[in-house]
Every structure is written in C-alpha cells, then in structure tokens.
Amino acid sequence: MPAYLEKERAVAIEAVERAARVCTAVFQRLVTDETLTKKDKSPVTVADFGAQAVVNAILERHFPDDPVVGEEDSRDLQGDGGRALREKVVELVGSALDRPMAADEVLRAIDRGQHAGGPAGRHWTLDPIDGTKGFLRGEQFAVCLALVVDGKVRLGVVGCPNLPYDMSRPAEGRGVLAVAVEGQGAFQRRLGASDAAEQRIRASGVADPRDAAVCESVEAGHSSHSDSAQIAQLLGISKQPVRMDSQCKYVAVARGDADIYLRLPVSSSYAEKIWDHAAGNIIVREAGGCVADVSGRPLDFSLGRTLSQNAGVIATSAGVFDATMAAVQQTLAGKAPSAS
Ligand SMILES: Nc1ncnc2c1ncn2[C@@H]1O[C@H](COP(=O)(O)OS(=O)(=O)O)[C@@H](OP(=O)(O)O)[C@H]1O
Ligand SMILES: [Mg+2]
Ligand SMILES: [Mg+2]
Ligand SMILES: [Mg+2]
C-alpha cells in the first residue's frame, strides 16, 4: 500500500524543484530590470509569476480537482499594460515545463491560486517566492508549497536555492529542499537530488535557553526587532539574532541551525497569510519542534487565506519552547502593536 500522501509528496517536490529553477534562472538573467511594485508595495518579479504558473500547472496535471490558495494573481500581466511582462513570463514558463503554453493558459494557471481556502476538503497553498526582498538581494528566499486537508497542514515542501546544505560547511554547496508529511518526520535533500539522497532532520536538543540561537526576519516591518531583543535578554541569550528572509527560518529551526524563530507582530491590523507559514509549520513540527502564535495558540489554517485568529509566530525546538513563550508573554504584556 502506498504511504500516506506518497503521490502528493512526489508531485510537490517536482513542482518546487522546477519553480526553484525558474527563480534561479530569472535571478541570473532578468532580476535587475523586471521588478514592479504591487499595490501593497511588496516587490514582485517575473519569477514570482513564473513560479506560481509552473507549480499550478503541475498540480493541475496531477490533481485537477484540487484548488490552490496562492499569493499571486495575473492582474499585472493583463491587457496592453501587462504585455511586456506577460511575454517574459510565458517564455519562462514554456522553458521550465519543456512545452510551450499560450499566454491565456499561463494567466489561467496563475489564477488557479485564487481559492478562498477554509476548513473543508483539501487545498494546496503556494508562495512561489517567499522572501521576495531576499530574492532581489541575492540572499535567502524559498519556494513554499503545502497541502491542507480538513483545515490542517499535512504535507509541506520548502525549496531554498541559496541556503547552504550544511551550515557548518557552506563551501560544500547551496540549495536545500526540506519536506515533511504528517506522521512521517522531516527530511532534507540537496535541490536536484533524488529521493535516495534524503536525510532526516531534527530540531536541536538545546535545553538551556541561554545557549539558544534566535532567527528573525530581515525586515523590521515584518517582525519587531526591538521586542525580540528584549525576549533574548530575558532568556539570557547573548548571541546576536540571525536575520534571514523567508521560510528558510523554519528550515533553520527544523535542522538545528537555530533554536528559536521569533515573528513578533508590528501591526495589529496585519493578518499573516497561510502561504507564508503552512509548509514551514509542518516541517518544524515533524522535526520535533513546536510552533504557536505569540499567545501560545496553534496556527489555525482552517479560516481561509489568512491566519486571522493568530498573531505572530513562535517556532522553537521542544526544549526551549516553554521558556520562550514565557519571555514572549512577559515582553508583550500590556503592549498592543499599532493599528497601522
Ligand atoms: N506587516 C507584515 N508583517 C508580517 N509579515 C508581512 C508583513 N508584510 C508582508 N509580510 C510578509 O512577510 C513575508 C516575508 O517574510 P520574511 O520573514 O521573509 O521577512 S523578511 O524578508 O525576512 O524581512 C512576505 O512574503 P513574500 O511577499 O512572499 O516575500 C509577506 O507576505
Ligand atoms: Mg509578496
Ligand atoms: Mg511570503
Ligand atoms: Mg511571495
């Protein structure tokens, strides 16, 4: 009998691998002149659209009935105003899939990501490039794909083209794919490697919070750096936090490069998006770590496109979870993030 989600796992890995190649190719060829600004001011590139089209086309081929909650939509690629960008995305997608796709097919594939999410049945959630700012800087970014069944994340794949496979030996190459299925543990392999090359990963066994390493967002607008400094002080941590873009932070906790990932709300009006956390969440939990919001509640992926009932994210190895939560709550007590 096949293992739980065996086909989904293989298809998700193939999709993330191909999308990661799209991103790397775009960075090498195009990134300097293909950036545009979405209404929310986040940078979005030809690679975000190309990667979303590639993943959605692969998912549709294998699982035509599965909807997708994806970050991007095709608005900026439509009409005369979108022609130049559209043509580049179409060319990119054709070469990534080894078959030409017409422009309308590419736009339709991107817009398969407009599903509302929710508690019933199954849907995928996709961040074609998480950490777009890191991508544009040539630093960390990740292609993140997860499967949600009945409101719970059951499978997650995170592709990190710029992450060293072994942090202690960065000269030995970059490019990591991390994967987890509920109940089966978490694994990593080099991007482009076969199933046989997978190695189990585990969160650290650190028990004394003073020995813990913290990671957090590069952007202070995504996670409060001042609150995290206070939390580290309460925990007796003297090491500086490692700032890293994207769900690579979850991978760092899942394989013991870091012990604590702090994402501390800056604004009370911002709701975290499910595609920013679903894949990383299951990878940390299957590696033996813990994930909650700043109140200690589990992240609730059953409520649509956002984590509307959660604020912030705390992901840690198991031995330092309670101490971290206590320090988070002491630091945030009485402080309400601004509504802007
Ligand atoms: N205000 C606010 N608060 C929290 N999170 C926000 C906020 N605004 C945006 N985003 C989302 O942050 C995603 C990138 O998160 P990172 O942890 O990679 O941030 S950072 O680049 O390291 O600073 C980023 O994902 P991508 O757009 O896929 O890069 C956004 O979805
Ligand atoms: Mg974005
Ligand atoms: Mg993101
Ligand atoms: Mg993104």
pLDDT at 29: 75
- Residues having CB closer than 6 A to ligand 1 are 42, 71, 127, 129-134, 217-219, 221-222, 245-246, 266-267, 270, 273, 276
Contact 46/92 with Cβ under 8 angstroms?
Answer: yes
CA 68 – CA 148 distance, rounded (Å): 10
- Secondary structure string (H, E, C) spanning 58-78: HHHHHCCCCCEEECCCCHHHC
CA 281 – CA 9 distance, rounded (Å): 16
pLDDT at 31: 52
CA 18 – CA 38 distance, rounded (Å): 25
What's the CA-to-centroid distance between 141 and ligand 3, angstroms?
A: 9
Does the predicted TM-score (pTM) go above 0.90?
yes
CA 311 – CA 160 distance, rounded (Å): 25
pLDDT at 98: 85
Angle at 77 between CA 74 and CA 82, to 5 degrees: 160
Question: Does the annotation flag 272 for ligand binding?
Answer: no
Question: Does the annotation flag 257 for ligand binding?
Answer: no
Of residues 49, 39, 54, 55, the one with CA closest to residue 78: 49
CA 115 – CA 96 distance, rounded (Å): 24
CA 88 – CA 81 distance, rounded (Å): 13
What the chain holds in terms of domains, given with CATH numbers, is 6-201 (3.30.540.10), 209-332 (3.40.190.80)
> If you take atom 8 of ligand 1, which residue's CA is the nearest one?
222
pLDDT at 172: 92
**ipTM of the complex, rounded to two decimals:** 0.96
Q: Per the residue annotation, which of 45, 48, 257, 259 is the catalytic one? A: 48
pLDDT at 38: 61
User: Is 37 assigned a catalytic role?
Assistant: no
Each residue's pLDDT expressed in tens, for the chain with a length of 340 residues? 889 999 999 999 999 999 999 999 888 875 555 555 666 656 678 999 999 999 999 999 999 999 999 999 999 999 999 998 899 999 999 999 988 999 999 999 999 999 999 999 999 999 999 999 999 888 999 999 999 999 999 999 999 999 999 999 999 999 999 999 999 999 999 999 999 999 999 999 999 999 999 999 999 999 999 999 999 999 999 999 999 999 999 999 999 999 999 999 999 999 999 999 999 999 999 999 999 999 999 999 999 999 999 999 999 999 999 999 999 999 999 787 777 6
> If you take atom 9 of ligand 1, which residue's CA is the nearest one?
222
Output the CA–CA distances (angstroms, integers) from residue 186 to 157, 200, 251, 259, 281, in the order listed.
10, 6, 10, 16, 11
What's the CA-to-centroid distance between 140 and ligand 4, angstroms?
A: 12
Both structure tokens of 20: 């990661």
What's the CA-to-centroid distance between 200 and ligand 1, angstroms?
A: 28
Question: Does the annotation flag 13 for ligand binding?
Answer: no
Contact 110/78 with Cβ under 8 angstroms?
Answer: no
Cβ neighbors of 140 (< 8 A, separation 6 or more) are 131, 134, 160, 162, 163, 244, 245, 246, 248
What's the CA-to-centroid distance between 41 and ligand 1, angstroms?
A: 12
Contact 71/87 with Cβ under 8 angstroms?
Answer: no
pLDDT at 26: 87
User: Is 306 assigned a catalytic role?
Assistant: no
Both structure tokens of 260: 């604590």
